[in-house]
Amino acid sequence: MLEITIPEQEAFDESTNSFIKLKGMKLSMEHSLVSIYKWESKWHKPFLHSTKTNAEVLDYIRCMTITQNVPDDVYYRIPQSEIDKIQAYIEDPMTATTFHYLEDSRKRKREIVTAEIIYYWMVSANVPFECQKWHLNKLLTLLQVISEKNKPPKKMSKSQIAKQYAALNAARKAKLHTRG
């Protein structure tokens, strides 16, 4: 969870020709599957594989917010330093797990990942739905680990099979004291 602070500010109210104080606020946020699901439901495009307008980014911040009853004007007053914190939080892997891939495995066809695809992965991997509230990067890492651990072992190459066969033959020759 991330907490950001929107400071108290002074603004000019043109209708009354006077200055007013805008209350500061603390917001609690989660970059989670639930947030992405809300955002994609509104914008009808994949969150992870799309460029976003400023309005879409601001709306994603709203979707991340778990603090209740936040007035809309508060989101327009978020300082750039807090936006930077939000961006760093979204990009944080939230885990020590890393994956190393060969070039060939990276060339696989990439599908467009939406919230429903991630929910499908969760159901397929028997990941409990409580995990939908985890930081998204942590959830995706868990799903990747499950996928990697469930892969069947790689088949041996022809040269590896030939070496194993030659070693087995040599052991049999030595055991039986024969030449072949």
| Degrees to nearest 5, angle at CA 119 with 51 and 48 | 10
In a domain, 37, yes or no: yes
Measured distance CA(102)–CA(90) in Å, rounded:
26
Looking at the predicted structure, is the pLDDT value of residue 102 above 90? no
Total domain count for the chain?
Answer: 1
Record the pTM: 0.72
> pLDDT of 52-72, one tens digit each?
999 999 999 999 999 999 998
Quote the pLDDT of residue 109: 61
Establish if 65 belongs to a structural domain: yes
CA distance linking residue 71 with residue 83, whole number of Å: 18
| Average pLDDT for 35-62 | 94
114 located within any domain = no
Whether residue 86 is contained in a domain is answered as yes
Residue 10: enclosing H or E segment and its boundaries? Answer: strand 9-13
Of 8 and 108, the one with more pLDDT: 8
What is the per-residue pLDDT for 166? 87
Residue 58 falls inside a structural domain? yes
Residue 160 lies in a domain: no
Q: Are 2 and 28 in contact (CB under 8 A)?
A: yes
Cβ 127 vs Cβ 144: under 8 Å: no
Can you give the pLDDT at residue 180? 67
Cβ distance 60 to 47 under 8 Å?
Answer: yes
Q: How many angstroms separate the CA atoms of 73 and 5, rounded?
A: 14
Q: What is the pLDDT of residue 84?
A: 95
Range of the domain at 74: 2-91
Each residue of 158-173: pLDDT tens digit? 888 888 888 888 888 8
Residue 170's pLDDT is 87
Q: Is residue 115 part of a domain?
A: no
